[in-house]
Structure formats: C-alpha cells, structure tokens
Amino acid sequence: MSKEESNEVRGTNRNDQEVGLTTSDTLSEDTGVLNTIEIPIAGFWIRAWAYLFDLLVVVSLNGIVIAPFYLLGDVAEFSIGTFTIVGIVSTLISFGYFTVMTKLLGQTLGKMVFGLKVYSYDHLEMTWLDVVFREVVGRYIHQSLLVTNVLYLIVAFSPEKRGLHDRVGRTFVGMESRKTKSIIQKKSEKNNELKPDMA
C-alpha cells in the first residue's frame, strides 16, 4: 500500500484536541473506505459510576462461584504458597471479567449501562495484548496497595481523561453514540420562535 493511500487521521474533540481514535483514508479489503469519526471523551465521574457498578457485578460473581468452596469446609482454607484457593479464584474472576468483556465487547456491564466504551488509542481495533496490559497490568498497579487506588484520580486531571491503565493499555474511554429522534417544529406567530408541532 502506498503512502498516498495511507494518510492517517485522528478523531478530535470540540477543542480540536487529539483524542486518539485512529482511522485512515485507505481502501480496506473488507470494509472499503474508512472515515474519520469523532468520539466524545468520557469524564471522570461517569467512569467512576460505571466502575462501581462493575464492582457490584464482580462481587456478585465471586459470591456465586466461591460460596460452594465454603460449603466444602477445609477446601476454602487450602492455599498455594501464600495464596488461598478462594483468593486465587476471586482474582481470576475479577481480572477475567474486565479482560474478556473489554476485548469481546469493548465494554463491561457497567460501561454498557452508562453508555461508555473502550477504544484503542492508536489502532482500529484493540488487540489482546492491549487489553491484558490495560485490565491486568494496569489494574494490578492500581489495586496492589490501598493507597495506589488514588492513581485513578489521574483520569480527573488528564486533558484526555486517560488513567494510568488507559496509558499502559494504549486506550481511551469514550461515549457511545446516542439515539436521536426527529420532531417537526413550526414558528410561533407571536414571537417568531420555533415550537414543537403538537398535532
């Protein structure tokens, strides 16, 4: 493919800042010409609410899966080195939930509820390596110590609202496209304003 066919362009936000979604004006064998798209960047608070929702999901999954271990008595206390079997299963559920959902759907249940989605910062599609670095390596750094959870505040102060795990995984979180509805409006004779047609 020649240079002329692969001019890279990036999505922009309202301030014409680079938001990181890379598309290209090239001919694709599968989809044809790719277009530049704009994706609104998700802010700190809406991401925080989505994350809290996901924590509830993870806790529920852990409760369902781990409960049988306690019914088996001594099995719950079985350990491998310094790690208990319950701790290992709980960790696998947590990291597995975020990793698999993000790779397959681009969003967890919490992100679905709040209309958020994870996008690759410099690819057309997230690779498994990107997702593993984001959801495993990045989140491990955040959760390794209680104080490291404060690192999530990087999202609040970053111009592109990218946290440490976003940067590690070369991703960003954007808002999904919203459904729209067309309505008919007519001008008011009194004040020349547009008013919805209630007919």
Q: Return the minimum-mean-pLDDT range out of 13-17, 45-49, 56-60.
A: 13-17
The tokens 């790719």 sit on which residue? 34
Average pLDDT of 82-87? Answer: 77
Cβ-in-10-Å burial (0-12, 13-18, 19+) of 162 comes to buried
Q: What is the H or E stretch that residue 129 is in?
A: helix 128-132
Average pLDDT of 181-197? Answer: 66
Q: What is the H or E stretch that residue 69 is in?
A: helix 44-71
Q: Is the per-residue pLDDT at 47 higher than 70?
A: yes
Could you tell me the pLDDT band of residue 27, with boundaries at 50, 70 and 90? Answer: very low
Q: Return the minimum-mean-pLDDT range out of 76-90, 157-171, 174-188.
A: 76-90
29 vs 122: which has the higher pLDDT: 122
Q: What is the pLDDT of residue 35?
A: 73
Q: What is the H or E stretch that residue 19 is in?
A: strand 18-24
The vertex-65 CA angle with 90 and 106, nearest 5°, equals 65
Q: What is the pLDDT of residue 110?
A: 96
Could you tell me the pLDDT band of residue 28, with boundaries at 50, 70 and 90? Answer: very low
Average pLDDT of 12-29? Answer: 41
Beta carbons of 185 and 197 less than 8 angstroms apart: yes
Beta bridge partners of 18: 12
> Would you list the domain boundaries of the chain?
3-33, 44-175
Tens of pLDDT, residue by residue over 109-144, are 999 999 999 999 887 788 999 999 999 999 888 877
pLDDT, the chain, mean:
78
Cβ-in-10-Å burial (0-12, 13-18, 19+) of 192 comes to exposed
